[in-house]
Amino acid sequence: MPRPSPISPTVDFDRDGVQHGFLRLPYSRDDSAWGSVMIPICVVRNGEGSTALLTGANHGDEYEGPLALYELARTLDPKNVSGTVIIVPAMNYPAFRAGTRTSPIDKGNMNRTFPGRPDGTVTEKIADYFQRELLPRADIVFDFHSGGRTLDFVPFCATHILSDKDQETKAFAAVEAFSAPYSVRMLEIDAVGMYDTAAEEMGKVFVTTELGGGGTSRAGTVRIARRGIMNVLRHAGIVDGAVEKDRTRWLDMPSGDCFSFAEEDGMIETMVDLGEKIEAGAVVARIYPTGRTGQAPQEIRAKMSGLLAARHFPGLVKAGDCAAVIAVETG
Amino acid sequence: MPRPSPISPTVDFDRDGVQHGFLRLPYSRDDSAWGSVMIPICVVRNGEGSTALLTGANHGDEYEGPLALYELARTLDPKNVSGTVIIVPAMNYPAFRAGTRTSPIDKGNMNRTFPGRPDGTVTEKIADYFQRELLPRADIVFDFHSGGRTLDFVPFCATHILSDKDQETKAFAAVEAFSAPYSVRMLEIDAVGMYDTAAEEMGKVFVTTELGGGGTSRAGTVRIARRGIMNVLRHAGIVDGAVEKDRTRWLDMPSGDCFSFAEEDGMIETMVDLGEKIEAGAVVARIYPTGRTGQAPQEIRAKMSGLLAARHFPGLVKAGDCAAVIAVETG
Amino acid sequence: MPRPSPISPTVDFDRDGVQHGFLRLPYSRDDSAWGSVMIPICVVRNGEGSTALLTGANHGDEYEGPLALYELARTLDPKNVSGTVIIVPAMNYPAFRAGTRTSPIDKGNMNRTFPGRPDGTVTEKIADYFQRELLPRADIVFDFHSGGRTLDFVPFCATHILSDKDQETKAFAAVEAFSAPYSVRMLEIDAVGMYDTAAEEMGKVFVTTELGGGGTSRAGTVRIARRGIMNVLRHAGIVDGAVEKDRTRWLDMPSGDCFSFAEEDGMIETMVDLGEKIEAGAVVARIYPTGRTGQAPQEIRAKMSGLLAARHFPGLVKAGDCAAVIAVETG
Amino acid sequence: MPRPSPISPTVDFDRDGVQHGFLRLPYSRDDSAWGSVMIPICVVRNGEGSTALLTGANHGDEYEGPLALYELARTLDPKNVSGTVIIVPAMNYPAFRAGTRTSPIDKGNMNRTFPGRPDGTVTEKIADYFQRELLPRADIVFDFHSGGRTLDFVPFCATHILSDKDQETKAFAAVEAFSAPYSVRMLEIDAVGMYDTAAEEMGKVFVTTELGGGGTSRAGTVRIARRGIMNVLRHAGIVDGAVEKDRTRWLDMPSGDCFSFAEEDGMIETMVDLGEKIEAGAVVARIYPTGRTGQAPQEIRAKMSGLLAARHFPGLVKAGDCAAVIAVETG
Amino acid sequence: MPRPSPISPTVDFDRDGVQHGFLRLPYSRDDSAWGSVMIPICVVRNGEGSTALLTGANHGDEYEGPLALYELARTLDPKNVSGTVIIVPAMNYPAFRAGTRTSPIDKGNMNRTFPGRPDGTVTEKIADYFQRELLPRADIVFDFHSGGRTLDFVPFCATHILSDKDQETKAFAAVEAFSAPYSVRMLEIDAVGMYDTAAEEMGKVFVTTELGGGGTSRAGTVRIARRGIMNVLRHAGIVDGAVEKDRTRWLDMPSGDCFSFAEEDGMIETMVDLGEKIEAGAVVARIYPTGRTGQAPQEIRAKMSGLLAARHFPGLVKAGDCAAVIAVETG
Amino acid sequence: MPRPSPISPTVDFDRDGVQHGFLRLPYSRDDSAWGSVMIPICVVRNGEGSTALLTGANHGDEYEGPLALYELARTLDPKNVSGTVIIVPAMNYPAFRAGTRTSPIDKGNMNRTFPGRPDGTVTEKIADYFQRELLPRADIVFDFHSGGRTLDFVPFCATHILSDKDQETKAFAAVEAFSAPYSVRMLEIDAVGMYDTAAEEMGKVFVTTELGGGGTSRAGTVRIARRGIMNVLRHAGIVDGAVEKDRTRWLDMPSGDCFSFAEEDGMIETMVDLGEKIEAGAVVARIYPTGRTGQAPQEIRAKMSGLLAARHFPGLVKAGDCAAVIAVETG
């Protein structure tokens, strides 16, 4: 039998009303022998009903999710709720406070850490608590992502192609309700360690997003996030009111040919902007050697036609970095 | 008498043709007792005529300039030149290689280091070389900037209001030729240490830009940079061909009321996107405390009406950071 | 079958007399391909008899133990000994040399690492050596602690409430012999990974202390440590001479209400000093926000009446840090 | 003519009432191109009268001063004031936030930086602002110190022996009013760069303290600080009410023989506690080599008789560290 | 069943000709969310035949191997090959790029990481790929080592004494063919985690070297490496042409007495140079305390007679470092 | 008038006999508020006579000098001395303790810091003390150098061509007496900040060396250093006994063509070893790009014929590093 989680919540998941509290995770270290990581959590409950588990900052440098969820936690009125909304606006809280993708404590990438371990690193302990305590409470699981400091995406909502078609149908309906400018059907090749997989294997309706990136947020993408999450909660019957539908364009990333990788270090120029069209064979990015002038840049050519769905964000690039992702519009 | 610069160029500024070389700056350090900083430089010369001195990466995390200038150095044909084009695509080269605003060697902010010192830090030695060797050779000085990792700007070309109105007129004509989407008249309050000031005090025509930011570049802003610099060189009669004029909108930043500063640490939400309108008194940014849920964000209100010309870029903000800059359109 | 420990001792545990040597732990690293950690060890033996295993610096920033044990190793005369005294004055030697709670090599907290692993990190290898080589040799195990850099305690000697009452009785008798100003009966909730647990599960008499803290020592607490350890060795019949008894006050920490945690970052003020009385409901600590003046401090109130037994030491505090511990005097 | 200070206050020093604001110091850096250091300042004014300038955290790891001054800023009622109280509770604010003696930005030791420079480092800019803007406004200048992380002192209030005996008399009267357990007459040998000197050279009444140390505070020393500063303000006629006198013991540190320095690295044992007596020739501290057991500690002997007034705080010591300071009681 | 390796090669191991490509290892991190480690690999194949797997920079600060192998990859003509040569000139590529023994990513010592793990650290993933993908393809495995930054060796080629005498004979024949100035028969005491062991346990002919050290290379040792590897390939019948035999001297390191360890920190003086004779009992190294002048150095005496085969390289030494290795010439 | 040096010596320069002491330099810092740098110094004096000032570790990673001088300080008998020998075996002591060229405290390169400043950085304070206190006492000044971690030299003794030919003659006689395998006449182009220059400008006989490098020492080069310094002291009449002359070969480095610099980052191969001949136009070093296999190395060709006198030491090289130095034998 696994040992119990060392995390103790200061909220009661079965109490009606709004509670603002913490998941307290003891963390002994050089600068605090008896210290803890205090992960903010909000529970809004109004009687029986479905439970939605909402998370942001699974990666700590992605802001549309936290901006939507701190605001939601502050403003959601239990009178408009039937059931329970559990909000953890900054899931990998140490990473979020540092503004980094992974935890500064243990370099843990939360989305490759599931199912976690109760006696592991701080990141593993958080994953274990979600795995064994929070996910089992949920009916619908919504996890916000954006590109973070090093990637930028066209704004989309997405879920996975699943073997359980009933579960898949419910998830795509939630994506549809979110009404992002783009929606994506994802076929995960290597799903090991993902929060997505943990939720889906428990049969939950799991929905996620990519809503921009670059380690910032934009007024426009924050509006998409806020409207979208309310739409999903309304669609699920947990918040009252009608879904505010908007047009979405469905994208596919059909194969590994979608992804282009740099093979040199240098300065990157992306030849089209996000959402723009690119033809197979055209130069999608160039990588300049910077040690001297007069040298030709390396050219990375598109392996397929489509639109630029994601790109490397920083001006410098390293060999092995994903330079560009092309997607195909399907409807 | 000041001691001579320790920097030795491997190019001959008086030789016709294209030369790709280095400014070699001896730099003894723990990991190389007899090491040097090698700053790439390109000289394209064709006979007598005016000299343009073009620089990028005065701040090391700004990419439109380097992308325009490495490309220009690689492709500019001396046959199309009358006079000399000196290109230093990465002025603060150590900062550029590190992808940081300031030099990783000495934390030097190049644009606050002029006139520099021949026996100072690496950054001061570079500034001194520009001050005493490169600026005196130039007729027109063009210095590319963008917002870097922590700021984002609407794309503009700019120069300063000067007491010498003839010099000012020439500079504004060059800005006009650049044809950025926006153009800015700047009144520098605190000009101490700036490269701008160093050039202007020698009577040079000095032009600069802000072409985006966030530590990335966009296909669109790179196109603006490339067309603009060719326009300026054509306008100056150094490169043959006609200026490709485009519409520009002139902006003013009339007073300190343009600038809004954060007074709290937290997560920032900018309420409008760059180029969008904002009214005086409206909330231009909100700063969320992130230590717990349920707390109201701090609101920063616009002190004047205008359009959002610049903003803090990263998702996290610290007390004292400039959150937003509002500009007024004048024509 | 587990692989053998990589640690080799330079002392012979079965030889009479005084030996000063090392536990040599091979540790290959960037700055020494064939390097080792050399943990000082002293063995004082005089014929058959009981064996005491004495350790300090289980946490590397606690000094009463090392000050007592380096001195004991230097001065203990085998003529006064019957049996064996094994002294490891700095158990987590890399941490001790760095003056930090955990090991600078692997961030290992020695007291959460048992039973260790022979092929693990440096800290795990040390734990494994104690688990499989040193603890089995011992009859009585004494492990010095103080509060370290970040906690401060009233000086006490302690042991655990055990299910084996005979073992418990022997341990409490040793605590009584130590004669610290305070003595504590501890009920360990989460004993996983502790050296205490490792020793107790082997049926050893295990005794420990908290003798101050703050990453320093005081003349007074060092005297307590030196007299106490001699008392315990005399009590055990390993060193000749009579126990120097002194009055001790017994304390209990009956429940989780003893512990108060900070929920904000800031500057801490503890309202009473160690050993002083506090009433339930009184403010035990205040946490000042420091970003601006004029804001009220957060108040932390005592959940029970008693005396202040431990407190957060540094002037700054983080959310999640233990601010204060209250204990109840029982006799 | 020196350039003006880059620091802009958000408070009006000539306005009646309580103002909580900032000294804003522009600080461009890699993680904030247009960032600032925001130093909290509070002004409490009620009409004409004397001005007191009160500072804490001149060294960033000393807490009695900030604890007294944040509280004073929050609670001082202008109705009880005649004149002006300027409170900067954390003078070297970047150091204070980091919990370090010197500034993490530039390693500046504020108390060796006067008179500062307007175009220097961040610490130099703060010093310059005090030198040219704040000190000239003051009649009485009170600067709190404690020992910080690495020293511990008996609690005393102090001022310097001055050539201007009238100025000196006023300063000692203020020390007397403070009523610390100890009071010290200091003869500064090397006063270059000190805030003390800057204030005294302008003819101000300057008073300072050492109120403990170790990078913490104690309930007792905080009470001394709070009562003391109110006493000084009452004594100066700026706050109404009577001075709460208490007995103080006057100490002298007559020569360099007061100070003992370590000549070896090792673990330190101080043989007496603060305030205890020590005879000339007695061992005041011992330094243990820790690389192996069995070696004799180095002994440091007192060069004069007196009481232990200050000591090295951390358990480890380096060659060159001041190990102990002995003072002589004079009344 | 273990999960598949996350590494994907860009070369086809079954294609004839020369291919220069990468082992691409996905590595998500703060500065590249979708980044990879790109390990250069070269495959030279000409029809059926034996396969040699050649590696350098198993430890990242050893240069004779990479200098031989990058050059071999660039110049080896498939026309001269029968079978396949797989060249990975920098096995622990992150360590090689950093110039450090272990990986800067995870501090992984490649030669203590076998058999690795597909879901482990970056170093473990590389080891796993060699274990499961590359080693099975090989008949002969050649792994270049030198002493790295902290050790220096007389140049030798070596292999292990094995229980399978047929395998051992083949390996020693390959060592003989290499024709280094010295050759060594190694009896590995603790072979856990070594690449050597992984190869030998699969029945491969495994050969290795130590060809100098100090984190540099010499013209002489590079020539030895280049001639040696061609000799081994010729000997194996994979490259045509005759082995260029040269005289080698066989050395033995018969027991733990070969190794001398420092017991103090200090500055080291090695009393003889590499390859020179030393008598048992003579001082082989002295360690100077540097804190003050006038102190005698610690003397380390040779425990056996022989020649100095290896030594600590840096001028400073730490307690526990291997100071010197003595070998016995056997033929 | 400059302020006095803050450094206080614990030795008396005018006392006969052997004294081992310190130059104590107060250094207040975060980890020791009242700390000091303790630079070991030894004075051996026997009556009136000339004074020699001997220094090692002007650069902290050079070991022949410290090995010769700690030993000399320990063994020099005043009976054999006429006059005074002042020995500072580790001039830049903080750098020496860190094993780095420059000081870890302030990155100061001691040999570019003269004349220093009494109120500057730690390195500047040391330089100032030599400039104003030690150099004036000396008649002959001997400063040991080797190549340090990043350069390696053939072992030579050297001094400068001076305008004062009498001074020059005396210096070359001392070089001759040293009897290193090589001797060098140096014409310093840029002598600003050097200890050499400081000594020579005071009219002192100044002698220096380069005795190997790589951050290590060899038994052979240490013997050269020890014999050489005794020879110089005998030659100067300060130590009795005859100079042990040995053959030296005189080298010249006639122009900038001696020096070859890398223009690319990569892995370096030096084509000849130190002391070997190279012809003008031959490849002296090759720099391999390491990002992929199959690419040709950059070739650096000798600009003149001679022997390899110095070379870049580490296996990796950066653009701008000095790759090789060629010298011409003159006698």
H helix intervals, chain C: 64-75, 93-98, 122-129, 165-178, 195-201, 219-235
Phi-psi region of B281 (alpha: psi -120 to 50; beta: other; left: phi over 0): left
Q: Are residues B67 and B177 in the same domain?
A: yes
How confident is residue A1, by pLDDT bands cut at 50, 70 and 90? low
pLDDT digits (tens, 9 = 90+) for F257-284: 999 999 999 999 999 999 999 999 999 9
Cα C45 to Cα C48: distance, rounded to the nearest angstrom: 8
Q: Determine how many CB atoms are found less than 10 A away from the CB of residue D244.
A: 12
Specify the pLDDT at position C300: 98
Which residues of chain F does A292 touch, with a Cβ-Cβ cutoff of 8 Å? 263
Q: Are residues F102 and F177 in the same domain?
A: yes
Cα D227 to Cα B244: distance, rounded to the nearest angstrom: 74
Mode of pairing for the β-strands spanning F83-88 and F36-46: antiparallel
Q: Are residues B264 and B234 in the same domain?
A: no
CB A135 within 8 A of CB A195: no
Which residues of chain E does D292 touch, with a Cβ-Cβ cutoff of 8 Å? 263
DSSP tag of F46:
E
pLDDT digits (tens, 9 = 90+) for C200-209: 999 999 999 9
Nearest to B321 among D22, D32, D119 (CB): D32
Nearest to D102 among F24, F29, F37 (CB): F29
Q: Is B64 on the interface with A (CB under 8 A)?
A: no
Phi-psi region of D112 (alpha: psi -120 to 50; beta: other; left: phi over 0): alpha
Question: What distance in Å separates residue C36's CA from the closest CA in chain E?
Answer: 4
CATH number at residue A297: 2.40.50.100
CB F135 within 8 A of CB F198: yes
**C89: cis peptide before it, omega within 30°?**
no
Which residues of chain A does E38 touch, with a Cβ-Cβ cutoff of 8 Å? 263, 319-320
Mode of pairing for the β-strands spanning C266-270 and D306-312: unpaired
Which residues of chain D does E265 touch, with a Cβ-Cβ cutoff of 8 Å? 291
Q: Where are the beta strands (DSSP E) in chain F?
A: 8-9, 17-26, 36-46, 51-55, 83-88, 140-143, 151-153, 156-160, 182-186, 205-210, 249-252, 259-261, 266-270, 277-278, 283-288, 298-301, 306-312, 316-317, 322-329
Mean pLDDT of B38-52: 98
How confident is residue B1, by pLDDT bands cut at 50, 70 and 90? low
Cα F224 to Cα F216: distance, rounded to the nearest angstrom: 15
Q: Is residue B1 part of a domain?
A: no
Q: Number of C-alpha atoms within 13 angstroms, CB side, residue E317?
A: 32
Place of tokens 């505090």: C317
Residue A191 has pLDDT above 90, yes or no: no
Q: What is the 3-state secondary structure (H, E, C) of chain D?
A: CCCCCCCEECCCCCCCEEEEEEEEEECCECCECCCEEEEEEEEEEECCCCEEEEECCCCCCCCHHHHHHHHHHHHCCHHHECEEEEEECCCCHHHHHHCCCCCCCCCCCHHHCCCCCCCCCHHHHHHHHHHHHHHHHCCEEEECCCCHHHEEECCEEEEECCCCHHHHHHHHHHHHHHCCCEEEEECCCCCCCCHHHHHHHCCCEEEEEECCECCCCCHHHHHHHHHHHHHHHHHCCCECCCCCCCCCEEEECCCHHHEEECCCCEEEEECCCCCCEECCCCEEEEEECCCCCCCCCEEEECCCCEEEEEEECCCEECCCCEEEEEEEECC
Residue D207 has pLDDT above 70, yes or no: yes
Nearest to D100 among F30, F32, F34 (CB): F30
Cα A65 to Cα A54: distance, rounded to the nearest angstrom: 9
CB D229 within 8 A of CB D68: yes
Among A213, A210, A322, residue whose Cα is nearest residue A268: A322
How confident is residue A255, by pLDDT bands cut at 50, 70 and 90? confident
Q: Are residues D205 and D147 in the same domain?
A: yes
Which residues of chain A does B288 touch, with a Cβ-Cβ cutoff of 8 Å? 66-67, 70-71
Q: Is residue F56 part of a domain?
A: yes
SS3 (DSSP) at C310: strand
Q: Is A267 on the interface with B (CB under 8 A)?
A: yes
Q: In what order do the strands lie in the sheet with E316-317?
A: E298-301, E283-288, E266-270, E316-317
Q: Do D33 and B190 touch (CB under 8 A)?
A: no
Q: Is E100 on the interface with C (CB under 8 A)?
A: yes
The two tokens of residue F292 are: 């992929």
Q: Are residues D197 and D266 in the same domain?
A: no
Q: Is residue B269 part of a domain?
A: yes
Chains that touch E (3 or more CB pairs under 8 A): A, C, D, F
DSSP tag of C239:
B
Chains that touch F (3 or more CB pairs under 8 A): A, B, D, E
Chains that touch A (3 or more CB pairs under 8 A): B, C, E, F
CATH number at residue C64: 3.40.630.10
Cα A233 to Cα A72: distance, rounded to the nearest angstrom: 11
Q: Which amino acid appears at position B198 of this protein?
A: A
Cα A68 to Cα A222: distance, rounded to the nearest angstrom: 7
Specify the pLDDT at position D257: 92
CB D256 within 8 A of CB D326: no
Q: Is residue A239 part of a domain?
A: yes
Specify the pLDDT at position F170: 98
**D297: cis peptide before it, omega within 30°?**
no
Q: Is residue C214 part of a domain?
A: yes
Which residues of chain E does D264 touch, with a Cβ-Cβ cutoff of 8 Å? 291
- Cα separations (Å) of A156 from A101, A138, A151, A179, C238? 20, 23, 14, 9, 74
Q: Are residues B264 and B323 in the same domain?
A: yes
CB E145 within 8 A of CB E208: yes
Q: Which of C250, C273, C304 is the last residue of a domain?
A: C250
Q: Do C3 and E192 touch (CB under 8 A)?
A: yes
Cα F281 to Cα F303: distance, rounded to the nearest angstrom: 6
Domain count, chain D: 2
Q: Are residues B246 and B257 in the same domain?
A: no
Q: Give the range among A27-41, C249-263, E210-224 with minimum mean pLDDT.
A: C249-263
The two tokens of residue D45 are: 């004014």
Q: Where are the beta strands (DSSP E) in C124-217?
A: 140-143, 151-153, 156-160, 182-186, 205-210
Q: Where are the beta strands (DSSP E) in E180-230?
A: 182-186, 205-210
Which residues of chain E does F276 touch, with a Cβ-Cβ cutoff of 8 Å? 219
Place of tokens 């939507």: A68
Tell me the count of C-D CB pairs closer than 8 A.
141
Cα A78 to Cα C307: distance, rounded to the nearest angstrom: 42
Q: What ipTM describes this predicted complex?
A: 0.96
Specify the pLDDT at position C186: 87
Among E31, F264, A292, D30, residue whose Cα is nearest residue B90: A292
Q: Is residue E3 part of a domain?
A: no
CB F222 within 8 A of CB F229: no
Q: Which of D251, D284, D314 is the last residue of a domain?
A: D251
CB F201 within 8 A of CB F120: no
Cα F19 to Cα C225: distance, rounded to the nearest angstrom: 40
Q: Are residues A86 and A184 in the same domain?
A: yes
pLDDT digits (tens, 9 = 90+) for E220-238: 999 999 999 999 999 999 9
Mean pLDDT of D93-113: 97
Question: What distance in Å separates residue D262's CA from the closest CA in chain E?
Answer: 12
- Measured between CA atoms, the residue of chain F closest to residue D151 is F33
Q: Is residue F98 part of a domain?
A: yes
The two tokens of residue D52 are: 């007191």
pLDDT digits (tens, 9 = 90+) for B260-300: 999 999 999 999 999 999 999 999 999 999 999 999 999 99
Nearest to B319 among D33, D34, D38 (CB): D38
CB E37 within 8 A of CB E124: no
How confident is residue D191, by pLDDT bands cut at 50, 70 and 90? confident
The two tokens of residue D172 are: 């000692």
Main-chain phi, psi angles of D69, to 5 degrees: -85, -35
Specify the pLDDT at position F223: 98
SS3 (DSSP) at B302: coil
Q: Do D320 and F35 touch (CB under 8 A)?
A: yes
Question: What distance in Å separates residue A243's CA from the closest CA in chain B?
Answer: 23
Residue C1 has pLDDT above 90, yes or no: no
Handedness of CA B17, B19, B25, B26 (dihedral sign): negative
In chain D, which among 184-203 make CB contacts under 8 A with chain F? 190, 192-193
Q: Which amino acid appears at position A285 of this protein?
A: A
Q: Are residues F30 and F179 in the same domain?
A: yes
Q: Do F102 and B37 touch (CB under 8 A)?
A: no
Main-chain phi, psi angles of D10, to 5 degrees: -100, 10
Cα A97 to Cα E292: distance, rounded to the nearest angstrom: 46
Q: Give the range among C38-47, D33-42, E245-254 with minimum mean pLDDT.
A: E245-254
Cα E208 to Cα E159: distance, rounded to the nearest angstrom: 6
Q: Are residues A149 and A290 in the same domain?
A: no
Mode of pairing for the β-strands spanning A51-55 and A83-88: parallel
Cα E243 to Cα E188: distance, rounded to the nearest angstrom: 28
The domain in which residue B319 lies consists of: 253-329
Q: Do B320 and D36 touch (CB under 8 A)?
A: yes
In chain D, which among 213-242 make CB contacts under 8 A with chain C? 214-220, 222
SS3 (DSSP) at E80: helix
Specify the pLDDT at position D187: 79
Residue D145 has pLDDT above 90, yes or no: yes
SS3 (DSSP) at E167: helix
Cα F73 to Cα F11: distance, rounded to the nearest angstrom: 14
How confident is residue C2, by pLDDT bands cut at 50, 70 and 90? confident
Q: Which of D216, D251, D286 is the last residue of a domain?
A: D251
Place of tokens 């975060």: F30
Specify the pLDDT at position E190: 72
- Measured between CA atoms, the residue of chain D closest to residue E262 is D291
Q: Are residues D122 and D103 in the same domain?
A: yes
Among A209, A182, A210, A188, residue whose Cα is nearest residue A200: A188
pLDDT digits (tens, 9 = 90+) for E145-176: 999 999 999 999 999 999 999 999 999 999 99
Q: Are residues D237 and D176 in the same domain?
A: yes
Among F233, F213, F229, residue whose Cα is nearest residue F313: F213
Q: Is C117 on the interface with E (CB under 8 A)?
A: no
Specify the pLDDT at position B266: 98
SS3 (DSSP) at A1: coil
**A254: cis peptide before it, omega within 30°?**
no
Integer-rounded Cα radius of gyration of chain D:
20
Specify the pLDDT at position E254: 82
> Which pLDDT tens digits describe chain F residue by residue (331 residues)?
678 999 999 999 999 999 999 999 999 999 999 999 999 999 999 999 999 999 999 999 999 999 999 999 999 999 999 999 999 999 999 999 999 999 999 999 999 999 999 999 999 999 999 999 999 999 999 999 999 999 999 999 999 999 999 999 999 999 999 999 999 998 776 788 999 999 999 999 999 999 999 999 999 999 999 999 999 999 999 999 999 999 999 999 888 899 999 999 999 999 999 999 999 999 999 999 999 999 999 999 999 999 999 999 999 999 999 999 999 999 7
In chain F, which among 271-310 make CB contacts under 8 A with chain A? 291-292
